Amino acid sequence: MASEQIERRLPEEALSLCLLLALAGGFLDGYTYLARGGVFANAETGNMVLLGIRLLQGEYARAGAYLVSVLSFALGIWGAEAIRAALESRGGLRWRQTTLGMEIAAVTLVAFLPKELDMLANCMVAFTSAMQIESFRRVEGNPYASTMCTGDLRSGTEQLFHCWQRRDRKAGRNAVDYYGVIAVFIVGAASGVPAYEVLGLRACLVCSGLLLVSFVLLTVKAGRGKGDGGPR
């Protein structure tokens, strides 16, 4: 029981942090779809579907944009694991802070890329989003995704069923967490519309701000964990 409580207090699994990352994830998906050529740079399932459709229609140039996004996402997973292997055992700055810092830098740069470089912008977002989803995989001890919602919907509904069937309060709390993440993701995606209307391509800076707040929150929680003798 004690080990479970410690695990649930890991700073990278805090609900507040996970909600912020989901908000940023939804915003980025809305941004790349609206501003960067109709590509979902976070959710690669949609890109794979569109890739197949464009190939069948003979629109190979448009298919290439989706393929590049998918490959960039795969490279982002590889990159996150490489950073983890290099930094996890050395102490000091956490590897998750490193990947999040890289995402902040990349997303900020994307805001200043012209329309002619939409493919590069989508590659950068896909790459860093993959690093985010690989680095932050649990909310309050439960598996989750901050840049896509299909798995969260499955897990949340499963927990809701267990709550109803077994009168399991913990499952009910888990369901609330999952549905909260989904709701925040949708809010993030929707907020990309007015942000894009007002700021244009610079709307991506809103996401940079959300990620920066996430970085600060993670750092503060990690510091508190060390001060309390918690997990490092």
The DSSP output letter for 112 is: T
Q: What is the pLDDT of residues 32-88, one digit of tens each?
A: 888 988 877 777 888 899 899 999 999 998 888 889 889 999 999 999 999 999 887
Q: What is the pLDDT of residues 124-140, one digit of tens each?
A: 999 999 999 999 999 88
The DSSP output letter for 228 is: T
Q: Tokens at residue 155, please?
A: 């897990």
DSSP codes joined into one string, 65-83 = HHHHHHHHHHHHHHHHHHH
Beta strands in 54-163 (DSSP E): 138-139, 142-143
Beta-carbon contacts of residue 95 (< 8 Å; ≥ 6 apart): 83, 84, 86, 87, 88, 135
- Pairing state between β 138-139 and 142-143: antiparallel
What share of residues in the chain are helix, strand, coil (percent, to 5)?
80, 0, 20
**pLDDT score, position 221:** 81
Task: Check if the beta carbon of residue 100 is closer than 8 Å to that of residue 211.
Answer: yes
Tell me what the pLDDT averaged over the chain comes to: 87
> Does the structure show a pLDDT above 60 at 8?
no
Ramachandran angles phi, psi of 94, nearest 5° = -65, 150
The size of the chain, in residues, is 232
pTM of the model: 0.85
> Does the structure show a pLDDT above 60 at 90?
yes
